[in-house]
Structure 1
Amino acid sequence: MAEFKHIPDSSSSSQNNVYCMLNEDMRRIPSQTSQKVSLSAGCMWWKQCWIPLICGMFFVILLTTVSVSFKQQFSKLTEVENAVGNLTASVVLLTSDQQDTNDRLMEMFGNLKADLESRITNLTRRKPVLSCKAGWQLYLSSCYLFSSTALDWQKSRAFCGAHEALLLILGQDASEWNFIVNRVSKLQSHWIGLTDHTTGQWRWIDGSPYIMDRSQWEPGEPNNLAGEDCAELTKSGKLNDGMCSQSFRFICKAPANEN
């Protein structure tokens, strides 16, 4: 603000001095006013812009965070896609290998089937026709003679030998046992080729051992009484040790003839 001072001297030099002081003060007024206006404008700008500025900074931070998260998720997605691709390739390869294996198995099965059919055909064509002499009965691959006359055990054995047969030897085949038992049941006893006369142990006449089975014998038999050294097949279908000098019918067994 201009300040007027009273100067007693009214000379021109004094007036000039007053003018200069007034002019200097007037120059100071715009400068101070400009500074106040500038400061006021800055304050107004800050009051109006601080919220958008902070929001902008927050947005930049958020965008950066989202971008980093997106990159991480994209990287994981890429890994998953690669894993899925590898798994798909493995499945395709496995499927191809399985198909090859199936093809080889089917080929092997076809070859085996063809070979088996060929063998069956050959066996059918070459299957011999079995037959027995008159009066003998065919069962499986053997011929059996059920005598109508009675002889002692030794003569029965000799008779069978004269017809190229043996006094009956029975194995462990249950079907053969059933065939013989059904044929002689309710008739009378028949000599078979089983004795303990020579060794004291029950053996078949071809020398093979007999495996003792008590269920095949009459109750309490064999009782090994003196002279009861030969086995008879009773009409009940059970075995009994009888005296070899007794006369019974007998059963001979011989291999069947191939035609």
Structure 2
Amino acid sequence: MAEFKSIPDTSSGSQNNIYFKLNEDVRSTPSQKGCLLLKLFWIPLVCGMLFMVLLITVSVSFKQQFSKLTELENTVANLTSSVALLTYNQQDTIEKQFSKLTELENTVANLTSSVALLTSNQQDTNDRIVEMFGDLKADLEIRITNLTMRKPVLSCKPGWQLYSSSCYLFSSTRLDWEKARSSCSAQGALLLILGQDASEWYFIVTNVSKSKSYWIGLTDQTTGQWRWVDGSPYIMDKSQWEPGEPNNLGGEDCAELASSGKLNDGLCSRSFQFICKAPANEN
């Protein structure tokens, strides 16, 4: 049996140190010594095994944590890559939109410039037109003033009527068309020629007798086409004629102004009153 004893240490001077001594019982048997040795051997072995188990457990746990950490790093890397790609695509889209916006701004600027130039040109044109009209108006005013200042006094022979710048004779005698033409010519006039002046037509119609017809200077007996006595062509206007006329019935080649105020083709040999027309005299 082992026991611990306190033994004074005289080699340390004034200090007292205590140590222990294993006092083996001289009466201990060899089997007891073997058990003691066995116990002394197994304790470190068990401790070593426990340490190994703990080390393995820690190692496995560390590997698992490391694996999870690696997966997390990969996930973070993938997310980072996705974010970077998304950012790149978004940046590319923004750049494209900005480029389109820049093009649109340039187009608007060009259109604005074109409109401004067009407006300027139009304004210049308007100014020139206004200036031209102003000059033309001034010139016309001067001409009118000059004409008014020296405007002659017009007159007609006795028995003739003045209208505008012409004199008209409404005859009281009746002649055939050829003799009526000759009578007008002998007086320095022509058998009536009417143009497209509606006011002249109105003057003639209001001055003829409402119950008589008058020869005028229009015939188709020479060429088959209606012409005035001065040889100028007549522009057919059906509104000036009686309904259904001219019909050339029985060789009607001379035009008469009927009492209705409309034209009618009649036989040139018939006797009607007639109308002569001559320029007015200037005094």
TM-score (norm. length: structure 1): 0.66
Alignment of 1:22-33 (within 5 A): 26-27=40-41, 29-31=43-45, 33=47
Give unpaired runs (5+ residues) of structure 1. 1-14
Tell me what 2:26 maps to.
none
Match of 1:228 among 252, 259, 273: 252
Alignment of 1:1-259 (within 5 A): 26-27=40-41, 29-31=43-45, 33-43=47-57, 46=60, 50=64, 56-127=69-140, 128-129=143-144, 133-134=154-155, 135-138=161-164, 143-150=165-172, 152=177, 153-155=180-182, 158=185, 162=188, 167-171=192-196, 176=197, 178-185=198-205, 187-188=208-209, 189-226=213-250, 228-244=252-268, 246-250=271-275, 252=277
| Rounded Cα–Cα distance in structure 1 between residues aligned with 2:135 and 2:171 | 44
Contact 1:167 1:250 in 2 (8 A): yes
Count of matched residue positions in the alignment of Structure 1 and Structure 2: 228
| Rounded Cα–Cα distance in structure 2 between residues aligned with 1:69 and 1:250 | 108
| Rounded Cα–Cα distance in structure 2 between residues aligned with 1:114 and 1:253 | 46
Measured against aligned partners, the alpha-carbon deviations of 1:163-215 in whole angstroms (never above 9, x if no partner) come to 5x7842435xxxx3x32443333534454442101012222345444444444
| Rounded Cα–Cα distance in structure 1 between residues aligned with 2:73 and 2:278 | 111
Contact 1:224 1:241 in 2 (8 A): yes
Measured against aligned partners, the alpha-carbon deviations of 1:1-44 in whole angstroms (never above 9, x if no partner) come to xxxxxxxxxxxxxx8xx989986984565245313332245336
3-state SS, counterpart of residue 197 of structure 1: coil
3-state SS, counterpart of residue 170 of structure 2: coil
| Rounded Cα–Cα distance in structure 2 between residues aligned with 1:169 and 1:121 | 36
TM-score (norm. length: structure 2): 0.61
Structure possessing the higher relative contact order (Cα contacts under 8 Å, 6 or more residues apart): 1
| Partner AA of 1:179 in structure 2 | S
For the aligned residue pairs, the C-alpha RMSD in angstroms reads 4.1
Once the two structures are overlaid, the 10-residue window that deviates more, 40-49 or 182-191, is 40-49
Q: In terms of Rg, which structure is larger?
A: 2
Task: State, as a whole percentage, how many aligned pairs show the same letter.
Answer: 26
